Chains A and B, each alone.
Chain A
Amino acid sequence: MSSRRSGSGASRITDDQIIDLVSKLQQLLPELRNRRSNKASASKVLQETCNYVRSLHKEVDDLSDRLSRLLSTIDDDSPQASIIRSLLN
């Protein structure tokens, strides 16, 4: 596929740039990372990206919930707290 470049030199987005970014994105997606062809279709990559971001948001919610419950079981004098403190320093 030929990439189109604007004759005037204005910063027009080229197909190559987008292909490159899409494939970089693909490498980050757990679903598509192991595909042998390094070019899944752009729309598939975008779709997976949306799904992945949504699932990450959900994970943050779940983990926040669990963390908040666990936090409440720790008081300042416990060994856990001192471990956390040492991690912070």
Chain B
Amino acid sequence: MSPPQQPSSTNPNSLKIRLTHRFLHNLNNLNKKRSNLDNTQIHRRSHRVKLAAYASMARVVGSRRAWSRAILWKIRNRKVFTRNKRVDHKTTHHHHLARSIKRRTTNHSNHKREYVDPNGNSGQEVKLRKLVPGVETMDACGLLDETADYIKCLATQVEVMRNLVDLYSTI
């Protein structure tokens, strides 16, 4: 049963279609670049397909979301990183900021509560921050909101990939 309200940007039908188009486009580009195939290539190709999947997701959602921005940023800077190894400058600042926020607010997390700690720095929130891109410094509301969107898109992307696997393997 689909929920009664579906904002158009997260309407599963249009999201799925957009993801499918973008992912197929990326796969097609991958296919064009391929060289002769051997076993070592398959592993790299699998990695590239995975990157294409995340890139598709982030591309379709664009800069509207922190998680998609984080993925796009990572992708753009991967090339810089492998060439220059100068990216540390930006990422350490980011991590330093996250750590200092965490230090300031750990007092509040000792109190055992049923609800999510509003600063989002206790228990499971910490694990969640490692799983969802772009949420390191968000408060609990932002974290939950981003996670919900991330899950929706990720689940749709998985569905697209499953459909493609079925398509490729049954023809």
Task: Please list the residues of chain A having a beta carbon within 8 angstroms of any beta carbon in chain B.
Answer: 12-13, 15, 17-19, 21-22, 24-25, 27-29, 41-43, 46-47, 49-50, 52-54, 56-57, 59-61, 63-74, 79-80, 83-84, 87-88
B144:A22 contact, CB within 8 angstroms: yes
A57:B116 contact, CB within 8 angstroms: no
Distance, CA A80 to CA B166, complexed state (A): 12
CB-defined contacts of B60 to chain A, threshold 8 Å = none
Task: Please list the residues of chain B having a beta carbon within 8 angstroms of any beta carbon in chain A.
Answer: 3, 20-21, 24-25, 27-28, 30-31, 34, 37, 42, 45-50, 53-54, 114-116, 118, 123-125, 127-128, 131-132, 139-141, 144-145, 147-148, 150-152, 154-155, 157-158, 161-162, 164-165, 167-169, 171
Distance, CA A15 to CA B3, complexed state (A): 24
CB-defined contacts of B127 to chain A, threshold 8 Å = 50
Q: Given A64-B50, A64-B53, A67-B49, do A13 and B118 touch, yes or no (CB 8 Å)? A: yes
Most chain B beta carbons < 10 A, residue from A15, A52, A60, A68: A68
Q: Given A18-B141, A60-B154, do A67 and B128 touch, yes or no (CB 8 Å)? A: no
Q: Given A18-B118, A71-B45, do A46 and B128 touch, yes or no (CB 8 Å)? A: yes
CB distance from A74 to the nearest CB of B (A): 7
Q: Which 9 A-B pairs have the closest CB atoms?
A: A46-B124, A21-B144, A64-B50, A63-B161, A68-B46, A70-B168, A64-B49, A13-B118, A68-B45
CB-defined contacts of A67 to chain B, threshold 8 Å = 27, 46, 49, 161, 164-165, 168
Q: Given A42-B114, A88-B28, do A24 and B148 touch, yes or no (CB 8 Å)? A: yes
B24:A84 contact, CB within 8 angstroms: yes
Which of the residues A28, A43, A52, A66 comes within 8 Å of B124, measured between beta carbons? Answer: A43
B148:A18 contact, CB within 8 angstroms: no
Most chain B beta carbons < 10 A, residue from A41, A57, A71, A84: A71
B168:A18 contact, CB within 8 angstroms: no
B161:A64 contact, CB within 8 angstroms: yes
